[in-house]
Each structure stands twice: as C-alpha cells, then as structure tokens.
Amino acid sequence: MIFAQLTDIHIKAGGKFAYNCVDTLSHLRNAIDHLNGFHPKLDFVVISGDLVDLGDAGEYDLFKQEIARLDMPFYVIPGNHDHRDVMREAFADHDYLSNEGPLQFSIEKEGLRIIGLDTTSAGHPHGHFEAEKQVWLRRELEAHKDQPTLVFMHHPPFKTGIQHMDNIMLKQADEDFWPVFSGYSQVLQIACGHVHRAIETFKNGIPVSICPASGHQVALDLDPEGEPSLVMEPPAVRIFRWTKGELINHLSFIGDFGAQHPFFGGDGKLIN
C-alpha cells in the first residue's frame, strides 16, 4: 500500500495570493497533478490541515472544486487556519469524520490503523490537546492495541528550534499529549504539518515527522530572535509505503526537475 500526506495548502478565495505573494491555488493544482501522476498509483491521500487560509465557506468551496480532480480517496483533519464547524459542514459527506466535537478519525487500511487528530484550538494559532481529545485517543489506542498505527496531526508536539513556530506548536504537549501514549507500543510514526518544512525527530520512542507544505515553506531560521518569514523552497508531499508490517516514508518534491537519467548503458555496465 502506498499513500501520501499533503499539507498546509492555504487556499484563498477570489484569486488572492497568500501573504500577497503565494499563488496557493496554482500550487494545489500542481500538487494534485503530482499525486495523480505518481507511479505506482497512490491508494489514498491524508491532508493534514490548513486546507484553506481563513476558514471561510467560499475557500472550502474552491478547495473542494479543485481536490475533486484527485484520482484517489482523501481524508482530512483541520489545522489552525481551518474553521472546525465550517470545515465539518464542507465535508459533511466524509463519513469517517466525527459528527461532533473534535474533527478527527480512526480508520484501518490493510492492517495499518490510521488516526487523524484534531489539535486545533478555536481562535488560536497554537494547538491544544484537551481532556476530551485525550480520552478519545486513549480509547482508540486501547481498542486497537495490536494494530500498527500511524497518527496524523496538524500541530507538532515538539520544538523545532524555529522560534515563531514553536510559539504556536501543540501547547502543553509534555503534559497533555505524550502521556496518552504510555503503555502503548503500536504507534510507528506521528506525521504532522503546520511548520511548512521537512523536519524529523524521535520522541518518547516514536518517530515524529513534519511534511513540507504544498506551496510556501517556513524559512529555516534557528536564531531565537529570527523574524517570521516564508521562502519558496520546493513544495513536497510525503509518500508512505506500508508493506509486510513495515512503514517507511519518502519526501517527493513537486516541480519540474528534468528527465531521469539511466545509471547503466545499453551494455548493462555503469556509465563511465
């Protein structure tokens, strides 16, 4: 099974560019072409939040109109730029999503449990993992103790060193989030969005990743006094491969990087 993570699309209505400089709609179209053109064909896509920029119904209409071109099923969770109720309404036909409270899901695909968490906190850019969410996640982990599990969430539960993004990470992650996993060993990876760049760490025995955005990236600035800024580094998606109980992932950059060149010549020898 091969599937992808797409994140932080930030669609704006009315032809507006994000931050007056990023054509997020064109970037989404490129991402969809990239996902549809991936070989072998992807089984599904998980979209890990910030589908739109302001959380308006018009933005979701535009997003849905575009994403309808995707050749495979997709699953969504919200980010801080989404509006939970407007998004729930927009995806009312997505039966896997919870009907009330946090907008999240738990599904099984070929023996892999896939959990999508809602880390949003209404009206705030940072994330929260309140008691209600803790109870739900613990129940899911307990109910599927023997099933290898991949967790998607928008806000990362760790510090990246990019100060302005760490200020809006999942708040109280060490108190509210990580303790939920104690006693459960089935989680293979936690895959996040929010920080708009490729970042990886290992925390409490679990690999944790952040996926680059489909459009603009957050500048790599590890100066604690650094100004919040974006940079047009190559957009990417994460491609996951689940086979024989093993989960691995690749970054797949979106763009035209020229033709592929063979390593071996017609004589079967390495080209020298």
Determine the interface stretch with Fe ion among 44-52, 85-93, 181-189, 233-241 (rule: CB under 5 A). 44-52
- Pick the closer one to Fe ion by CB: 53 or 140: 53
Q: Is 8 in the site for Fe ion (CB under 5 A)?
A: yes
Report the nearest approach of Fe ion to the CB of residue 196 (Å).
6
Q: Is 50 in the site for Fe ion (CB under 5 A)?
A: yes
Three-class DSSP category at 48: strand
**DSSP string for 179-201:** GGGTT---EEEEEE-SS-S-EEE
- Pick the closer one to Fe ion by CB: 8 or 176: 8
- Pick the closer one to Fe ion by CB: 8 or 140: 8
Classify burial at 154, counting beta carbons within 10 Å of its beta carbon; exposed 0-12, middle 13-18, buried 19 or more. Answer: buried
Question: Treating both helix axes as pointing N-terminal to C-terminal, what angle do 24-37 and 57-67 enclose, rounded to 10 degrees?
Answer: 30
- Pick the closer one to Fe ion by CB: 50 or 59: 50
Beta-carbon contacts of 214 under 8 Å, excluding residues fewer than 6 positions away, are: 6, 7, 8, 9, 24, 27, 28, 30, 31, 235, 237, 254
Q: Is 53 in the site for Fe ion (CB under 5 A)?
A: no
Tokens 């023997």 -> residue: 146
Report the nearest approach of Fe ion to the CB of residue 184 (Å).
29
Report the nearest approach of Fe ion to the CB of residue 230 (Å).
10
Determine the interface stretch with Fe ion among 7-15, 37-45, 225-233, 234-242 (rule: CB under 5 A). 7-15
Determine the interface stretch with Fe ion among 43-51, 53-61, 155-163, 220-228 (rule: CB under 5 A). 43-51
- Pick the closer one to Fe ion by CB: 80 or 149: 80
Beta-carbon contacts of 224 under 8 Å, excluding residues fewer than 6 positions away, are: 163
Report the nearest approach of Fe ion to the CB of residue 53 (Å).
9
Determine the interface stretch with Fe ion among 42-50, 151-159, 215-223, 260-268 (rule: CB under 5 A). 42-50
Q: Is 176 in the site for Fe ion (CB under 5 A)?
A: no
Three-class DSSP category at 238: strand
Per the DSSP assignment, residues forming a β-bridge with 74 are 45
Q: What angle do CA 149, 192, 41 make, to 5 degrees?
A: 70
**Binders of Fe ion: how many residues, by CB under 5 A?**
2
Q: Is 59 in the site for Fe ion (CB under 5 A)?
A: no
Residues at the site binding Fe ion, with contacts judged by CB under 5 A: 8, 50
